[in-house]
Chain A
């Protein structure tokens, strides 16, 4: 907030530093990147929402299979259209930053994977996720049988209470054991 056309004011900057895991340089860089994406006439205005399409043009997000989900998760817009304000953008970067804790990261990862937003990863969520990962094309995507087995295996491993879905704590349990989740769940500008 309170940003002038090219610069964040000091208070906001320090507040953002307080509230995110980003360093000053990273916040400034993020701001530059964000305002570079703004159309000219809105430069300097506060609280502009960048539509999701614009955000997805960033190379950092462009090739990410979950990019739309990421935008939706971090968007605070009223009808959830995935558009981001600068603050949402900072939230995104903070969650994906190096310094963010495991809890935060796994929390957001869970939300990203939970495509129907029902609070658990059901079979459909998992299926969608795998399809996103593998892509839609014929030769890469898994057939029904493979998918079924894959999901069964996933549930077998992670669904501790055997209710057929993976909930957040189960998810975090699994994720926290993973050696490389924290290092790969990162986005740097």
Chain B
């Protein structure tokens, strides 16, 4: 294994490479713990070890699972690659090694999973290559930033939708019609009228989508009305209707899904929280920008933005409501409204005119034919610029004006489309009435024709309504009529003459085809205008600016013409408008989506080319992802509004008599009821009639409303709870701070009584220790003691209790076997694990809650323990430190305002001295102490603090905690060693671990003997990378002193590392040069040197400690999780340990 990892872990940190080959296991542990140091969960570690040793398949399986988890999540760790590689190798090896020992099925399962994963990755890789324009977009992205790219991504997404729509209509409507429908020229609706035939291939006819195009699958009118076509009996009309509806349904679903996904991504928050300045700074730079020009632009934009923000802030209070400004804005709005109304009127007028022209002239000029769409496109092109000019009048903030601009343009587009479609429908209306009038007129004038056919075609009511129109209609349709008669004469027909004639007269009047034609025409013209505008406005302008700037008297590039800007927002709006047209016309022209696909492809290439060659990014940065949902919301709005006219037309108008799949029906949607009635079994239609009866529909509607209301109220209450939680968090934070100050004040005031109390307590503790080694004092007792000691600060005391409990737990854990070594690392791992995933403020239980739960667990765990002897003294010891912490806190109080780390450190000193004097005076070897103290001053604190701070919200607890370990270690080493060494040997071996865990006084010893230091250093070097000492430490306690420093060192290194990950920035130099750093500590016996880096980190961590509440939620959850786990006795220990440790950290 080590040989395997060696080539990977090359160069820089390979110094420990030679000392690495102990055994696979050890090695694994090393790397493993390196992993845990930073994250991972402790119970897994415990499991791992059990699994490795016990051969219990269940545990082994869990171990393997855990390893797999590592493998799966490794990429989310912010580690350097080498480290990830190492851990990955390690995890894989363990999996490989032990997987074989499992049952065969499991092996197969995992192998299968592996294979699947590989396949999945392969597939992913393939899919990536098929994403269209990926490279192109990335290129744009890297030049112009994410804003511009978002336009293209949006375009691509629309392209995807249109492809699906095309496939839907193509597969279910167009292809069947082409394959199985009646071929061209067989039926009347599929033949070009004789009089049009000569001009059917003329370019202008084709251009205006007449002639052959009109009688093709492009439009509604071509589709046959035969209910079932082909040998398979394909129900084309039904399919046509269903596909038409499915287009809308699909669009809705895909839009809503995308929106939901987006809003999930953006956390759906940010509404009431405002980080204007932070965002402007932290998120200002678009890292994608690679083009120097764009970078310059962006830089200028950022500066502007920042300046703006500052000025805004400065002038927030100033009220600048000038009458002039208001009147200007009113004027601007009036102008905009006028232009909107004007554009709507123009469109309506043009449609009206074209209708009249059509009726008056037999042949229309090219302009007259395309008038409508050209005018509409012109308006859509010119009006936005006009709006922009008007917006300058208003003098809004750029962002506001952008929003106004967008809203106005959207309204304009919608107005255009609506007035167009309304005008068209109006025309349809008059068209159908004209048709009716014509036929009515015809019946009257030509009496020789059988009137029998009349009721058939028009129905009684139509005739009635047609009467008043007759006078008007006769004039207008005179031309048509005569034509029809000629046609009639010319055609050889087997059918009855009258029917033929009336059919002919109406064939031209297929309003669905007409609407489809208009929409398609509009789309085409729009495309032409877009292309023209890109070429003329952007390209030519770009050319002029670039090449004529030398021979011009002013700087073309920076003054008047400049380069064209890429206006993301307006371009996106244009895309939306375009899509709206497609939706509007898709029902009447099934090939419209297909056309749109082509159009989008062209647009993609043209736009990307134009952007890369002749555009500069817009000055006003329209933020990408923020706008994403904005785009989509507009698209949704558009979809809804575009669906309305279609639905209206479907529901309101009668389908044309003689063309299209629904000809002859009263309403288009009758096809459904017809199919239900004829083609489904009887019971189905019965059921349908029940379902559609008011009896069912009304309650259903009511239910829907209720549901909506219910969901809404839930959403509201969730929002409320959200706010509550946030408030709670805030108050808690302020309260924490208050507490700290209160405590400091309290200490200042009453140092004496506490000092008095101290000796007593310690003495009792000492005696009890001597007297009862066998009886375990219940943790509760400790709890009460602690409470007593620190009244008024329940939360803290609770925490301390739990910690002491955990400590004992640890002891036991280590004592029960050398295998336990991982237990030491557990806490670390846990500790570091959490901060890495910030769960900001989501449902975090209050601090007190958490601590309580911890307390609970702490109680539980001791109950499990088997060797209570060990734990007992520890309890007492841990209790004791609490006093000193408060009593001698005189100094601490002073320095609280500043860096907590320092403060606590001093506290310790005092405490130790007092303790020494009071308790141990007789038995102690003084020199021991003398040596220890300074070291402690330096190191203990930093260590502890560094370790704990991350998860504690309260500063106070730090000091408590840090005391506890010290005492522990001290007493164990000094008191216990001396009293009964024989027994203590074991206990020392055991207790040793917890000590190292909490970075106890070993550190101190580390400095005691100068001669030793070299040893440490040497050892340290071995361990610094490998952390192999765990197992060793268990076995030889003689070595303990030497050994433990090393461990401590390791620990001291670890916080560095962990800090590196979690709150990395703490020490820059540390992570890369961690090893150096530490070694230097060891070797140089100068305290000063040691102190600096440590205090640095320590204060940093202390500073950062206070807001880790986010993560503590996480912890909390995990604790519970552990508890629930079914555990075997061995595992149990580990689990509970981890729990305790977690608790201590809360």
Contacts and interface: CB of A to CB of B under 8 A. Distances in A.
B281 A118 contact: no
Given A23-B128, A76-B1072, A161-B1106, A178 B283 contact: yes
Contacts of A110: 1064-1065
Residue from B292, B302, B623, B838 whose CB has the most chain A CB atoms within 10 Å: B838
Interface string B281-297: 11111111111101110
Given A19-B74, A87-B82, A178-B282, A116 B267 contact: no
Contacts of B281: 126, 129-130, 133, 150, 154
Interface of A: 1-2, 15, 17-21, 23-25, 46-47, 59-66, 72, 74-80, 85, 87-88, 90-91, 94-96, 101, 103-104, 107-111, 113-114, 116-121, 126, 129-130, 133-135, 140, 142, 146, 149-150, 153-154, 156-158, 160-163, 165, 167-189
B8 interface: yes
Contacts of B289: 63-64
Contact of B313 (A24, A133, A149): A149
A117 to B, nearest CB: 2
Dominant SS among interface residues on chain B: helix
18 contacts: A1-B7, A20-B81, A46-B10, A47-B11, A80-B1073, A87-B85, A91-B81, A103-B838, A107-B78, A111-B1065, A117-B1067, A117-B1069, A118-B1096, A133-B303, A168-B1062, A173-B841, A177-B270, A182-B265
B150 A183 contact: yes
A94 B624 contact: no
Interface string B434-457: 000000000000000000000000
B121 interface: yes
A167 B1063 contact: yes
Contact of A120 (B84, B1065, B1108): B1065
A23 B127 CA distance: 11
Given A134-B299, A140-B303, A180-B283, A88 B625 contact: no
B307 interface: yes
A72 B145 CA distance: 23
Nearest to A125: B1065
Contacts of B309: 150, 153
A126 B1064 CA distance: 17
Nearest to B84: A19
A181 B283 contact: yes
A71 to B, nearest CB: 13
Contacts of B313: 149, 153
Contact of A18 (B88, B277, B1106): B88
Dominant SS among interface residues on chain A: helix
B278 interface: yes
B1000 to A, nearest CB: 25
B463 interface: no
B314 interface: yes
B291 A63 contact: yes
Interface of B: 7-8, 10-12, 71, 74-76, 78, 80-82, 84-85, 88, 121, 124-125, 128-129, 138, 141-142, 145-146, 150, 265-267, 269-270, 273-279, 281-292, 294-296, 299-300, 302-303, 306-307, 309-310, 313-314, 623-626, 733, 737, 835-838, 840-841, 1059, 1061-1069, 1072-1073, 1076, 1096-1097, 1100-1101, 1103-1104, 1106-1108, 1110-1111
Contacts of B138: 188-189
Contact of A150 (B277, B279, B624): B277
Contacts of B303: 133-135, 140
Contacts of A179: 266, 270, 623, 625-626
A15 B85 contact: yes
A21 B128 CA distance: 13
Contacts of A104: 76, 78
Contacts of A107: 78, 1061, 1064
A44 to B, nearest CB: 15
The 9 closest A-B pairs by CB, nearest first: A117-B1068, A119-B1066, A63-B295, A114-B1065, A87-B81, A179-B626, A167-B1104, A119-B1065, A119-B1100
Contacts of A133: 281, 284-285, 299, 302-303, 306
A154 B737 CA distance: 21
B1054 to A, nearest CB: 15
A153 B277 contact: yes
B278 A65 contact: no
A103 B277 contact: no
B12 A76 contact: yes
A19 B81 contact: yes
B1105 to A, nearest CB: 9
Given A104-B76, A157-B276, A119 B1063 contact: yes
Contact of A60 (B85, B142, B265, B836): B142
A184 B733 contact: no
Nearest to B276: A157
Contacts of A187: 142, 287-288
A103 B80 contact: no
Residue from A108, A135, A153, A162 whose CB has the most chain B CB atoms within 10 Å: A153
Given A1-B8, A120-B1103, A142-B310, 12 more contacts: A2-B7, A25-B125, A47-B10, A60-B142, A74-B80, A103-B836, A107-B78, A134-B302, A150-B277, A171-B282, A177-B267, A179-B625
B304 to A, nearest CB: 10
A113 to B, nearest CB: 7
A134 B1073 CA distance: 32
A94 B79 CA distance: 11
A165 B1099 CA distance: 12
A5 B139 CA distance: 27
B1101 A119 contact: yes
A185 B288 CA distance: 7
Contacts of B275: 157-158, 174, 177-178
Given A90-B81, A95-B78, A168 B840 contact: no
B1068 A163 contact: no
B1064 A157 contact: no
Contacts of A185: 283, 287
A11 to B, nearest CB: 10
A66 to B, nearest CB: 7
Nearest to B274: A157
A24 B127 CA distance: 12
Given A149-B310, A177-B269, A117 B624 contact: no
